[in-house]
């Protein structure tokens, strides 16, 4: 399990404790013994209730090394930690005010750890759920944490300067893409590192361009294999991490069935699970001469290695537009 993998790696790194920023369980607690095991075997665990386990209680656990934050908890130190459990019909700032903590934190550097929204997110980024227990910009202005760590949004990222989502430690569906991460925080310096969850599965959605001709199936096969190997290299785990793909093939093909089989073959050869193949944008090829021109255009687009910046335009998008012009 991801929690054990994280705790084990943190133990080897000399980390003091593991903190779960909400949703340790998806609903009522059925078997808390694994949490006890991880705490007793590796490191103390602090659990902040989230919207999926708001009823989490200290009494559910036997281990003395498990702490459940049942109400706002200020842990003193060189840089204090403020833990806020999930609460409906409140903002995080309101919860801090209600606990009488704002004034004592106003002039200090401190870290907020909680579970809720900051900003707006697509439904799939938070498990298709509605907003809960938000951190508002007014909360930030009034309470001014030096660093904020939030659970709830499944995509790990920095939402704004100093506001971080570790993300879900395992993907919950195919739309939760890329390597899973957890955050390593230096409480004394406010330093923060993003580290991969050991062995966590990776989901990806590939968009492949098919150019019609005698080698169209081979081209798609090689493109899928190349993407798979690139994903694994980026994850720092050559074949050791379970990988699941959804593959969209666009462009033109003389034999659409051969293209589909090429995707299946590539995934099978690389030991990858295939969630689905989508050929809705793969259209029948036109006459041979146009296919030859399309292949030449593809070679030149790749050869030029243009820089597309950080926007939505990619080499594949350029090729898609070129194909749309060729096959008008």
Rounded Cα distance, 221 and 249, in Å: 11
For the stretch 181-184, contacts whose Cβ atoms lie closer than 8 Å and that sit 24 or more positions apart, written own/partner, are 181/156, 182/6, 183/149, 184/10, 184/13, 184/15
Locate 53 and state its tokens.
Answer: 């386990």
Local confidence pLDDT in tens for the 328 residues of the chain: 799 999 999 999 999 999 999 999 988 888 899 999 999 999 999 999 999 999 999 999 999 999 999 999 999 988 999 999 999 888 999 999 999 998 888 778 999 999 999 976 555 555 556 557 899 999 999 999 999 999 999 999 999 999 999 999 999 889 999 889 999 999 889 999 999 998 899 999 999 988 887 788 999 999 999 999 988 887 665 457 899 999 999 888 889 999 999 999 999 999 999 999 999 989 887 655 666 666 677 677 677 676 766 556 677 777 667 766 665 5
CATH architecture type of domain 2-196: 4-Layer Sandwich (3.60)
Kindly compute the dihedral angle of the four CA atoms of residues 311, 317, 318, 323, in this order, to the nearest 10 degrees. Answer: -160
Do residues 97 and 105 make contact, with C-beta atoms less than 8 angstroms apart?
no
Q: Is 72 left (phi over 0), alpha (psi -120 to 50) or beta?
A: beta
State the DSSP H helix or E strand holding residue 288, giving kind and residue range, or none if neither.
Answer: helix 288-304
Instruction: Return residue ranges of the chain for CATH 3.60.21.10.
Output: 2-196
């Amino acid at each position: 399990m991801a929690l054990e993998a994280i705790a084990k790696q943190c133990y080897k790194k000399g980390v003091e404790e593991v903190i779960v920023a909400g949703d340790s369980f998806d609903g009522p607690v059925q078997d808390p013994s694994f949490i006890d095991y991880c705490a007793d075997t590796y490191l103390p665990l602090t659990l902040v209730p989230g919207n999926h386990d708001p009823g989490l209680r200290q009494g559910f656990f036997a281990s003395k090394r498990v702490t459940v934050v049942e109400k706002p908890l200020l842990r003193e130190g060189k840089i204090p930690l403020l833990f806020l459990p999930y609460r409906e019909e409140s903002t995080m700032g309101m919860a801090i005010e209600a606990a009488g903590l704002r004034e004592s934190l106003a002039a200090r550097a401190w870290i907020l750890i909680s579970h809720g929204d900051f900003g707006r997110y697509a439904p799939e980024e938070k498990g298709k759920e509605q907003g809960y227990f938000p951190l508002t910009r007014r909360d930030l202005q009034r309470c001014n944490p030096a660093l904020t760590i939030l659970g709830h949004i499944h995509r790990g990222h920095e939402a704004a300067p100093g506001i971080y989502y570790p993300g879900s430690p395992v993907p919950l569906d195919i739309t939760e893409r890329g390597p899973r991460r957890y955050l390593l925080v230096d409480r004394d310096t406010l330093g923060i590192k993003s580290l991969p969850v050991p062995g966590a599965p990776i989901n990806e959605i590939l968009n492949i361009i098919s150019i019609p001709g005698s080698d169209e199936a081979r081209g798609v096969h090689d493109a899928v294999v190349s993407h798979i190997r690139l994903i694994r290299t980026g994850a720092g785990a050559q074949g050791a991490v379970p990988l699941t793909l959804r593959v969209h093939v666009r462009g033109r093909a003389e034999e659409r069935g051969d293209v589909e089989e090429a995707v299946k073959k590539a995934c099978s050869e690389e030991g990858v699970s295939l969630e689905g193949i989508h050929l809705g944008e793969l259209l029948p090829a036109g006459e041979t001469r146009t296919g030859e021109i399309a292949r030449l255009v593809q070679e030149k687009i790749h050869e030029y290695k243009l820089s597309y910046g950080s926007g939505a335009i990619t080499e594949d998008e350029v090729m898609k537009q070129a194909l749309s012009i060729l096959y008008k």
